[in-house]
Structure 1
Amino acid sequence: MSIPSLKIVFHGQNAANFRHDFETLIDPAHQLLDLSDALDQAGEREHYESADVVIGIQLNDSMPRPLKARLFHAPAAGTDAVNIAFLPPACTLANCFGHENAIAEYVIAALLMRHVPLARADQDLREQRWTYWAGRPSALRTELGTQTLGLLGFGHIAQTLAQRAKAMGMQVLVANRSPISHPVVDRSWTLDALQDFMGSCDAVVVCLPLTDNTQGLVDAPAIAAMRPDAMLLNVGRGAVIDEKALYQALKNHQIGGAVIDTWYQYPTPTQPECAPSQFDFASLDNVLMTPHMSGWTTGTVRRRQETLADNIRRLSQGEALINVVRGPLT
């Protein structure tokens, strides 16, 4: 059976991250095109409007419409920058995961830093200080396995992280929109009991996507409910945690600290460097700041490429698509 040729466009720099060797994953009958973020080069607008498949992370009122698209595929989990009102009725919106293993490793590494201070032990010993020498009562460390890990949300990231945490001996608690029953979850709450959940954990990891219902969900009262030595980690979306409330809680040492990987302000094509927040988190000594890196590994890129290629194959062969965010309306 012959495979119908599809015009597939990679729109913008983010999508270009998944373009390398993509030809090797799909049928050679398909046409691949690389388009700029601005879509202002010769012929780019027309290619975008006539594409069968658009791979990209945004669609808004400043852009041309993908008039003939049958699949708009985000190469990441988030689709909040894609305005579905501008998709053709017959177009499916899909996304990619594949980042859960990498993010779980990031979280475990960040948590271990509190209990296994390798960097300080190394630095001190280089200066002939035996700070953590076994046998000294003052050198005793804590263990990650004695801790209670709270997961806000229970999607791909949280489920993978729960398994890793259990392997470390941790107790796993979950707060989710719907009740959770899972072999590695010791207790769960629904979101109407968020403060009870927040107060039960040694570390809370925000794993939620950004929606109208989750924006600002972790507000000042939720943070105030946390234990004074508890950690708050965000690998979901920045705005799920109220920006001002988080800054004030850290500045006032209301909680034990934070690890922040997802932020409130990001670079743009016209401003490639910027502060990650309107507040001066960089001046605080109880926060670890990273530049939205937790899921960005070679493994993540490859797994997402495979998801993109699989859905293109399914589309060309008339099979049901996977990772569907919104199906066709006609």
Structure 2
Amino acid sequence: MGIILTSDKRKCPEIANLEVVNVKTIRQYEGNTNVKALICSRDVARVCQHMNIPNLKVIQLFSAGFDNIDPELLQSKGIHLCNAANVYNVGMAEFVVYAMLMHAKRYNHSIKNRRLRPFRNYHYLTELSDKTVGILGAGNIGGQIAKRLEAFDMHVLGYDLHTDDRPHFEKIYNETHLQEFLGRCDYLVNCMPLFKSTEGMLCKKWFDLMKSTVTIVNVGRKKIINDKDFIAFLKSHKDATAVLDMFEKVPNPLTNPYRRLSNVLVLPGVTAISREIDKKLSVLIGENMKRLQSGEPLLNQIV
């Protein structure tokens, strides 16, 4: 079949004879006519798209997102781009529910109260039932989140740039009715994909329209949030809370402003991790490599 490159051999257990690359070493394959496939992170794909690898047929991403990768450029070179759509949906949706329940049941308070005290004041505990949640991004991941939160008898609203009707959502808004949408939300979940149109989208304009008691759960890309505006909002609204899993590296508790806020819980980049996700990803990669060899249509093909 030729050479198959990967930036993480652990994610490709069913593929033999892999050559491992990173953003620097992949440049050594410039002009190499033996390379047929690249299985990689977005960072490596961003470098590769500008290289000349004459017989490269497919770039298979580990991620569902493909921001800063140019599908049209790859198509002009005869390279298929495939992502990992539907691999992470269930795991991420479950983690969002977990994050919201941690807030509702005030885990950060209750964990200190290990002994049973019948008369302790637990009136700060709340229920998800009958609360309103707004989900930014009504695609595959947002749909799985909505499906689960609907089962909690929540009012599930969506915000999306491309659709106004999806299962499990009571209503889907767009920017025209932003004030109504944000004003209704007790919880706001961001799983919006990163595009030029969504970079910095969560800014002061948005925060000014939210409830002062809103809980924001972010499992989307960090660049969607304007950090300066978000931190200012959290500092000035002590009853607002945030659960954030948006850092590729765990932020330093001394230097990162989010880690110093008492109303913020920072998760260590675990939303998209599970044994089941690893299995789904390896199956997808293995299947696409088989299809490449046999000339069959590829799964999750962007171009």
Question: Considering the TM-score relative to the shorter chain, is it more than 0.5?
Answer: yes
Alignment of 1:138-177 (within 5 A): 139=123, 141-177=125-161
Aligned mates of 1:194, 1:222 — CA distance in 2:
8
Alignment of 1:183-202 (within 5 A): 183-202=167-186
The match for 1:291 is 268
Shift of 1:93: 0.7
Shift of 1:48: 6.5
Q: Which secondary structure does the structure 2 equivalent of 1:124 belong to?
A: coil
Q: Residue type matched to 1:34 in 2? A: E
Aligned mates of 1:276, 1:110 — CA distance in 2:
20
Distance 1:18 1:227, change over 3 A: same
1:33 matched to 2:18: yes
Distance 1:17 1:274, change over 3 A: farther
Q: Residue type matched to 1:231 in 2? A: T
Aligned mates of 2:177, 2:256 — CA distance in 1:
29
Q: 1:105 aligns with which of 67, 91, 94?
A: 94
Q: Is the 8 A contact 2:9 2:18 kept in 1?
A: no
Deviates more, 1:185-194 or 1:95-104: 185-194
Q: Which secondary structure does the structure 2 equivalent of 1:59 belong to?
A: helix
Q: Residue type matched to 1:51 in 2? A: V
Q: Which secondary structure does the structure 1 equivalent of 2:113 belong to?
A: helix
Q: Residue type matched to 1:116 in 2? A: K
Return the TM-score normalized by structure 1: 0.80
The match for 2:11 is 18
Q: Residue type matched to 1:260 in 2? A: L
Shift of 1:259: 1.1
Alignment of 1:219-230 (within 5 A): 219-230=203-214
Shift of 1:261: 0.7
Q: Which secondary structure does the structure 2 equivalent of 1:315 belong to?
A: helix
Return the TM-score normalized by structure 2: 0.87
Q: How far does the alpha carbon of each residue in 1:103-130 deviate from its partner, in whole angstroms, 9 at most, with x for none?
A: 111111111112224564453243x644
Larger Rg: 1
Q: Is the 8 A contact 2:31 2:54 kept in 1?
A: no
Aligned mates of 1:244, 1:203 — CA distance in 2:
21
Q: Which secondary structure does the structure 2 equivalent of 1:54 belong to?
A: strand
1:77 matched to 2:64: yes
Aligned mates of 1:278, 1:66 — CA distance in 2:
42
Q: Residue type matched to 1:93 in 2? A: L
1:246 matched to 2:246: no
Q: Which secondary structure does the structure 2 equivalent of 1:145 belong to?
A: coil
Q: Which secondary structure does the structure 2 equivalent of 1:52 belong to?
A: strand
Ranges in structure 1 where 5+ consecutive residues have no aligned partner: 24-30, 268-272
Aligned mates of 1:216, 1:236 — CA distance in 2:
12
Residues paired across the two proteins, number: 298
Shift of 1:75: 1.1
Aligned mates of 2:153, 2:290 — CA distance in 1:
41
Distance 1:261 1:140, change over 3 A: closer
Q: Is the 8 A contact 1:235 1:261 kept in 2?
A: yes
Shift of 1:79: 1.7
Q: How far does the alpha carbon of each residue in 1:205-226 deviate from its partner, in whole angstroms, 9 at most, with x for none?
A: 1111111111011111111111
The match for 1:315 is 292
Aligned mates of 2:279, 2:143 — CA distance in 1:
21
Q: 1:59 aligns with which of 45, 51, 56?
A: 45
Q: Which secondary structure does the structure 1 equivalent of 2:211 belong to?
A: coil
The match for 1:7 is 3
**What percent of counterpart residues are identical?**
24
Aligned mates of 2:201, 2:110 — CA distance in 1:
38
